[in-house]
Amino acid sequence: MNSAPSPLRFFQESAFGRYLFAMIAVALAAVITIAFDTIISNDTQVTLLLLVPAILVASVFGGLGPGIAAIIALTALLHLMAYREWLATSHEQIIIFAIVGLGMAWFGAALRESRLDAELQRQALQAREARLQAVLDTVPDAMVIIDERGIIQSFSSTAQRMFGYRDHEVIGRNVSILMPQPYKQSHDGYLARYLTTGEKRIIGIGRVVVGERRDGATLPIELAVGEINVEGERAFIGFMRDLSERQEAEARLQELQSELIHMSRFTAMGEMASTLAHELNQPLSAISNYLRGVNRLVTTSQGNVNTQMVLDALDKAAAQALRAGEIIRRLRDFVTRGETDHQVENVNKLIEEASALALVGAKEQGVRVRFDLSPDTDRVLADKVQIQQVLLNLMRNALEAMDESPERELVVSSRPMPGGRVEISVSDTGTGLSPEMAAKLFQPFQTTKKHGMGVGLSISRTIIEAHGGRIWAEPNPNGRGTVFRMTLASVGREEANGHG
């Protein structure tokens, strides 16, 4: 709801109002002149002096036009007073008054224009400041401006929320109030060194620093500092971004990724459960048979026990028990979730241990497994369980790809590569990949299995890329099937000894 304009605003903004104001000023001047008539005793010069301010007021308030209108009105008034013999004024004095009045009107109009220009500049400045403040209030980064001595000159609203201070609490204080020890003591020294030598530590270079809130809590900050020159005085403007939420999000993302990898191992374990049951059944059945044989030897020997035969049978039973325990241990190590632990690992040993779990039942499926492991393959710095998970996934996929293939051969190989890398490949003689599937093979939820989830290869790529390598698939050079290749960064002997 708009408020009614004030009388003063009406006289300022309306042309009619400005001229009306000029006539009011003339009338007031005439009234004052008449009121002081007995004091001035018809003194012409004093009377003219009393009338001049009316011209100045009219021109200052209304401009040159109202000022000239005031001159005309006052000149007419002087003629009338001279005609009535109220004032002994000659025509020459009236003309001089008019000329002086024109000068006063021009001077008053100039003052008015100057005042209006100053007002427009003030309004424009206020508008710019308001826009700038609005921008600063909406910028997600905190902004702090300091002078050459490190004294805070400006403190944005985002900075207030970030550090917990109100602007009036920090403006005029040293910026070190926003820093914990030992940075608090060192800051002024860095600033003085830069002003003296030009050596930059932070200015013009973005970096991560530590800030301190009002309550004493610290927070990681991404800081960028620029140098500005304001009216010949050097100042520094800093833009700060709170990294706490980003670090928490990254930690949560890493935790979720770890959970997904962990659950994928359970999925793989479920797919191998029936085959493992069959594989465990073999050593358990052998143990049972050996122990029954020992029992028959003991019960039918009638005191004449063949000790060597009993010991051999017990040794074989123990060996089968160890075999079953090794299968269970490997399964437990694979499924158990642990923290990411990069250690120097032997590539060929990683492959051998992973294949012992992944290729369970391969012989019964009619698959011929061949290993082509280079003895010159270097060691790698890797998380053993995660890399073995990738190998297990690739080998199990290769076995399934050859279910309906007349020729079933799986080849696992390793070789050193130029540039300090190691390549591991898993090839099969299955049905191969269509061009459409090959293009999106490592995307989540893409699978050729009837009951697959389509996350195994996506997780495998995540693991390999996190190790600084890459993984890809290509047609088998023998003309049938697919080869999956992955690379890992190798570790030299000196580095391996350093991690050992």
Residue 469 lies in a domain: yes
Say yes or no: 191 and 287 in one domain.
no
Q: Among the three residues 134, 152, 178, which one is the final residue of a domain in this structure? A: 134
- Using CA atoms, how far apart are residues 17 and 190, in angstroms rounded to an integer? 63
The helix/strand count (H/E) of the chain reads as 16, 12
Supply φ then ψ for residue 388, to 5 degrees: -65, -30
- Number of neighbours of residue 485 by Cβ within 10 angstroms: 16
Sign of CA pseudo-dihedral 6, 7, 11, 14: positive
* CA distances from residue 461 to 254, 446, 452 in whole angstroms, order as listed: 15, 13, 17
**Residues 6-15: what's their mean pLDDT?**
64
Say yes or no: 108 and 18 in one domain.
yes
Sign of CA pseudo-dihedral 231, 235, 239, 244: negative
Say yes or no: 123 and 176 in one domain.
no
Region of poorest pLDDT, from 123-137, 254-268, 450-464: 254-268
Residue 51 lies in a domain: yes
| Per-residue model confidence as pLDDT tens digits over 328-380 | 666 566 555 454 567 888 988 888 888 877 776 677 788 899 999 988 887 88
Say yes or no: 234 and 270 in one domain.
no
Asked if 155 and 172 touch (Cβ cutoff 8 Å), the reply is no
Residue 486 lies in a domain: yes
Q: Are strands 409-417 and 368-373 parallel, antiparallel or unpaired?
A: parallel
Residue 109 lies in a domain: yes
Q: Among the three residues 207, 242, 277, which one is the final residue of a domain in this structure? A: 242
Residue 1 lies in a domain: no
Q: What is the DSSP letter of 469?
A: -
- Using CA atoms, how far apart are residues 396 and 357, in angstroms rounded to an integer? 10
Confidence at residue 425, expressed as pLDDT on a 0 to 100 scale: 94
Containing structural domain, residue 193: 139-242
Q: By C-alpha distance, which of 185, 369, 358 is closest to 265?
A: 358
pTM value is 0.40
Which helix (H) or strand (E) is 233 found in, with range?
strand 233-242
Say yes or no: 207 and 262 in one domain.
no
Say yes or no: 196 and 149 in one domain.
yes
Say yes or no: 207 and 282 in one domain.
no
Q: By C-alpha distance, which of 433, 430, 431, 428 is closest to 370?
A: 428
Write the CATH number for 271.
1.10.287
Region of poorest pLDDT, from 43-52, 311-320, 384-393, 484-493: 43-52
What token pair was written down for 191?
């600033």
Confidence at residue 153, expressed as pLDDT on a 0 to 100 scale: 86
Write the CATH number for 484.
3.30.565.10
Q: At what angle do helices 64-83 and 15-35 cross, to 10 degrees?
A: 30
pLDDT at 273 over 80: no
The pLDDT-based confidence of 319 (bands split at 50, 70, 90) is confident
**pLDDT higher at 373 or 22:** 373
Residue 87 lies in a domain: yes
- Using CA atoms, how far apart are residues 204 and 225, in angstroms rounded to an integer? 6
- Using CA atoms, how far apart are residues 161 and 142, in angstroms rounded to an integer? 9
- Using CA atoms, how far apart are residues 68 and 391, in angstroms rounded to an integer? 100
Write the CATH number for 237.
3.30.450.20
Say yes or no: 468 and 359 in one domain.
yes
Confidence at residue 484, expressed as pLDDT on a 0 to 100 scale: 93
**CB within 8 Å of 300: residues ≥ 6 apart:** none
| Per-residue model confidence as pLDDT tens digits over 217-233 | 888 888 888 887 767 77
Q: Among the three residues 286, 318, 339, which one is the final residue of a domain in this structure? A: 339
**pLDDT higher at 52 or 337:** 52
Say yes or no: 164 and 310 in one domain.
no
**pLDDT higher at 205 or 131:** 131
Say yes or no: 237 and 253 in one domain.
no
- Using CA atoms, how far apart are residues 46 and 41, in angstroms rounded to an integer? 9
Give the range with max mean pLDDT: 187-196, 354-363, 385-394, 486-495.
Answer: 385-394
Which helix (H) or strand (E) is 488 found in, with range?
strand 482-491
**Residues 138-142: what's their mean pLDDT?**
78
**CB within 8 Å of 367: residues ≥ 6 apart:** 359, 399, 402, 408, 409, 410
Asked if 55 and 108 touch (Cβ cutoff 8 Å), the reply is yes
Total domain count, the chain: 4
pLDDT at 3 over 50: no
Confidence at residue 488, expressed as pLDDT on a 0 to 100 scale: 92
Residue 293 lies in a domain: yes
**CB within 8 Å of 216: residues ≥ 6 apart:** none
What token pair was written down for 231?
């009216």
Residue 2 lies in a domain: no
Q: By C-alpha distance, which of 148, 328, 344 is closest to 227?
A: 148
Say yes or no: 357 and 288 in one domain.
no
**pLDDT higher at 340 or 299:** 299
Say yes or no: 385 and 294 in one domain.
no
- N-term to C-term CA, the chain: 80
